[in-house]
Amino acid sequence: MKKKNQTSHTNRYILLGLSVFCALMMVLSSFSEQAAGPFKVLANITVIPLQQGINHVGGWLGDMKDNFSTMQQLRAENEDLQAQIDALTTENNYLQEERYEYERLQELYQLDQNYAEYEKTAAHVIGKEPGNWFSTFTIDKGSKDGIAVDMNVLAGSGLVGIVTEVGPTWAKVRSIIDDSTNVSGMVLSTSDTCIVSGDLSLMSSGQIAFEQMENNDNVVSVGDQIVTSYISDKYLQGILIGSVSEINVDSNNLTRSGYIIPAVDFKNIQEVLVITTTKAELTGEDESGD
């Protein structure tokens, strides 16, 4: 009997609790709209800025990812463009070299045509003495190619010098600007003869000197061409040496002297033509001098 009374009391408590809970929920329901206001304010102050910050960080990270991808793409494109530039630069240098070589060969061909009466062979310069000027240098043709001492050498528009030493596959050339060189020259327009003397000290002004020209009634003017004369022992006749740049009457009033601009750029010689006949062979003489 006592146990039954305890169960009845428990049920009453449960029912009472549920009634109170329902009443409380009704009260809260009626005040829900007023209670939501403070929570909304709190959310606006804390949660929403935090969410915006998170969204901003997420957007920034997304932009960084896009920028990184773009940077990698640009870097790859830049490497491709640089490779293309390098290839084009190499090709341009090659074409420039080809053009310069073509121009030199054209010049050499024209020179060959100007002296078509002589048999010639082409050669490349493979060495030179120290200094800025090609006073003496070595070519890549020798006795096996028919080269011999005293053969005349051409380049540019005229006379370079003469072969002084020969090996099987090489030869040395002494140019007309060398201090030890003297060439018998002649004014093409008047046939007046002179001696053209090598002088390296004059090459800084781009000139070589001549002397011992007779002071006569023949008018020799600046620009007149000087060629090798018919009385030269080693140099074939009529090869252009250069043009007169200055002429003066000497103090003895008997001779004239002056300066010549040479027909060859003695600072840059890469290819030459060697006339394969010597003056001695043409004249039938065995002995020769300058």
Burial class (CB in 10 A: 0-12, 13-18, 19+), 228: buried
Are the beta carbons of 267 and 133 closer than 8 angstroms? Answer: yes
CA distance 35 to 282: 129
The helix or strand, by DSSP H or E, that contains position 128, with its residue range, turns out to be strand 120-128
| 120-277 CATH, one of 3.30.230.80, 1.10.10.10, 1.10.1530.10, 2.40.10.340 | 2.40.10.340
CA distance 278 to 148: 8
CA distances in angstroms from 207 to 2, 199, 243, listed in the order given? 146, 9, 10
Backbone torsions φ then ψ of 165, nearest 5 degrees: -155, 145
Assign 3-state DSSP to the chain and report helix, strand, coil percentages, each to 5. 45, 25, 30
CA distance 199 to 252: 23
Per residue of the chain (290 residues), what is the pLDDT tens digit? Answer: 555 555 566 666 666 666 666 666 665 555 555 555 555 555 556 556 656 666 666 666 666 667 777 878 888 888 887 887 877 777 777 666 666 666 776 777 788 898 999 999 999 999 998 989 999 999 999 999 999 999 999 999 999 999 999 999 999 999 999 999 999 999 999 999 999 999 999 998 999 999 999 999 999 999 999 999 999 999 999 999 999 999 999 999 999 999 999 999 999 999 999 999 999 998 887 554 45
**Long-range contacts (CB closer than 8 Å, 24 or more residues apart) made by 82-87:** none
CA distance 151 to 142: 11
CA distance 122 to 126: 13
At 17 the pLDDT is: 67
Are the beta carbons of 211 and 254 closer than 8 angstroms? Answer: no
Are the beta carbons of 260 and 242 closer than 8 angstroms? Answer: yes
Are the beta carbons of 121 and 107 closer than 8 angstroms? Answer: no
Burial class (CB in 10 A: 0-12, 13-18, 19+), 276: middle
* Sequence ranges of the domains in the chain: 31-114, 120-277
